[in-house]
Amino acid sequence: MPTIEVKKAYLDRCLKSIKEAGVGIEEALSSVKAEIKGEDADYYKIDVADTNRPDLFTAEGIVKELQGIYRKEKFDYSFLNQKPSHRIEVLDSVREIRPFVGAFLVKGLTVDEDSLDSLIKMQEKLCETLGRKRRRVAIGVYEASAIKFPVRYGAFGPKSYRFVPLGLDDEMDLKDILKKHPKGIEYGHLLKDFSKYPLLLDANDEVLSLPPIINSKKMGEVKIGSNYLFVEATGLDQRAVTLALNIISFCLSFRGGTIERCESVYPYSTPFGENQVTPMQMNKALRIDMKEPKRILGVEIGWEDAAEKLMRLGYEIHGRGENFQVIAPYYRSDCMHQYDIIEDIAIVKGYNSFAPLPLTDFTMGSLSREQEEMDNIRDILVGMGFQEIISNILVSRAELYERMRQEQEAVEIENVMTESYSILRNWLIPGLVKVESNSSQIEYPHRIFEVGEVVLKEDEPRAELRLACLMSGREINFTDVHRTLESLLETLSLPYKLQAAPDHSFIGSFIEGRFGTVEVNGKEIGIIGELHPEVLYNWSIKMPASALEITLPSNLSCLIRDGVL
């Protein structure tokens, strides 16, 4: 979950009326699924649990939402209906490199220390989460008074332009920036496969930035006292680029700025057409049938009451009566069904306002047969000296692929907020390896296991229950993990065979010649082997490690007894 830093003075000042009404900051934050995880003299550190709401990754987003929940708030997004005041001309050369760009300008907001601090933190957090560490979206902010429009966005040769990047005093060409500038070293991999690099240039051919790496010091340095800003975003996902601009424009508007829209003109087709104006409303109207809020919330609520609560959160209301339509605020992307709207009605109404209902049915709970079988396996492994771990089914691409020397396909989350939880695991061993990498201070040997689900990418994604074990220590080798497998399957009365598998899809994670498959009645149910030294190096594991993983049918004992396995 994202953690953001918010200045205490700003949050306390904005929520003063809420506190005076007897609602503490902790209670208020719980309404937006957030909590204070730490603080110092100047900042609150706030964890935001709702990763579907990147607008809440900003101080302004949290304040605006709380003001809407606890008091009536006015919303003015009339600038969404205004014609664009400036233009970005996109060149065909960026089509295969970084194809999408959008922007807007802000007038009437004089940048002070507080707003500059918020703007920098907002930019960094959105690039890290929504932008997937700048790969999906990168954001730049500039002093607009020095920019001559229209701005051009295209790709150019590595030595075609020279400029002084932020943080340095000497001119560098594009290639040198990627090799020598700290941000070039950190993010240069995003452009390493291309012979040309994207640039934003103004009408005087002045470089604004080399996205997604660094701004120009001359054109892209915002200072205290600036009162006319140009904000742009580039990326690989046009919807994410637009959402980032929507969120930032909302935040700067909330602080008192006047938003001026920009038009991006493309020489190629895009999901939003060849002429896109930003910021823009991307949300579609959703129909609310008032029977559903009444049924789900268990209370009588009229459409006037429901509409009033939604308007406090910035919704547009169209129509009246038992069936009406709503459009979510333009800076939100999480409203896909009327049940999302009903949740917001409940939040504004206040969960504490709902009266609890008495129990009407009494039943005896018990473990399912499958769970009893899993617990039996757990007891066997604990008896062998193993400790159980529980890891997330959502992992990062690096953990599942790169560090494990794998190139397999897995199910990925489409609109992910953070790279750390972007893909569904298709095997358990990487989770064990991750735990092992953090356990070097614990006395060896290590024996850990996990029983959990993986998701396989087939015609339709399919979940499968598996068991994985890992052993690590100075003297640990294939024989040790083989004995564990033998003891486990013998206890389960399950005959098996080991087969060499030099062409197996998982062979890259293991030492050649010390890897095999586990078969029962000619059917492969798992893998076993010694982890490759490069895998150990990637995870900073200092001792040899061996692992096994087998599929566990949910009705394991029945299959064994009936001779299916």
Dihedrals phi, psi of 93, to nearest 5 degrees: -65, -20
Distances (CA, A) of 429 to 97, 485, 496, 549: 35, 15, 21, 7
| Residue ranges of domains in the chain, CATH in brackets | 3-70 (3.30.56.10), 78-278 (3.50.40.10), 286-351 (3.30.56.10), 369-561 (3.30.930.10)
Number of neighbouring beta carbons within 10 Å of residue 55: 26
pLDDT reading at 260 higher than 70? yes
Tell me the pTM: 0.75
Question: Among the listed ranges 56-70, 355-369, 499-513, which one has the minimum average pLDDT value?
Answer: 355-369
Rounded distance between C-alpha atoms, residue 398 and residue 394, angstroms: 12
Sign of CA dihedral 324, 330, 335, 340: negative
Question: Among the listed ranges 11-15, 198-202, 368-372, 461-465, which one has the minimum average pLDDT value?
Answer: 368-372
CA-only gyration radius of the chain, Å:
28
pLDDT reading at 417 higher than 80? no
SS3 content of the chain, % helix, strand, coil (to 5): 35, 25, 40
pLDDT reading at 322 higher than 90? no
Q: What is the pLDDT of residue 21?
A: 77
- In 3D space, the residue among 123, 103, 125 whose CA is nearest the CA of residue 115 turns out to be 123
271-320 per-position pLDDT tens digit: 999 999 999 999 999 999 999 998 888 888 888 999 999 999 999 999 98
Confidence of residue 183 (pLDDT cuts 50, 70, 90): very high
428-458 per-position pLDDT tens digit: 999 999 999 999 889 999 999 999 999 998 8
Q: What is the pLDDT of residue 556?
A: 52
- In 3D space, the residue among 61, 24, 31, 23 whose CA is nearest the CA of residue 49 turns out to be 31
Q: Which residues pair with 45 in a beta bridge?
A: 5, 38
141-159 per-position pLDDT tens digit: 999 999 999 999 999 999 9
pLDDT reading at 460 higher than 70? yes
- In 3D space, the residue among 386, 295, 420 whose CA is nearest the CA of residue 346 turns out to be 295
Q: Average pLDDT, stretch 369-387?
A: 89
CA 256 to chain centre: 29
- In 3D space, the residue among 463, 431, 460 whose CA is nearest the CA of residue 547 turns out to be 431
Pairing outcome for strands 497-500 and 423-424: unpaired
Q: What is the pLDDT of residue 558?
A: 44
Pairing outcome for strands 258-265 and 86-90: parallel
pLDDT reading at 501 higher than 50? yes
Confidence of residue 555 (pLDDT cuts 50, 70, 90): very low
Question: Among the listed ranges 105-119, 209-223, 417-431, which one has the minimum average pLDDT value?
Answer: 417-431
Asked if residue 99 lies in contact with residue 153, where contact means CB atoms within 8 angstroms, the answer is no
Q: What percent of the chain has pLDDT over 70?
A: 97
Confidence of residue 72 (pLDDT cuts 50, 70, 90): confident
pLDDT reading at 564 higher than 70? no
State the DSSP code for 458: S
Q: Average pLDDT, stretch 452-480?
A: 92
Rounded distance between C-alpha atoms, residue 524 and residue 519, angstroms: 4
CA 230 to chain centre: 26
Distances (CA, A) of 499 to 93, 410, 492, 514: 52, 25, 20, 11
Q: What is the pLDDT of residue 174?
A: 94
Buried b (16+ CB within 10 A) or exposed e, 154-169: bbbebeebebbbeeee
Dihedrals phi, psi of 180, to nearest 5 degrees: -115, -30
517 vs 20, residue with greater confidence: 517
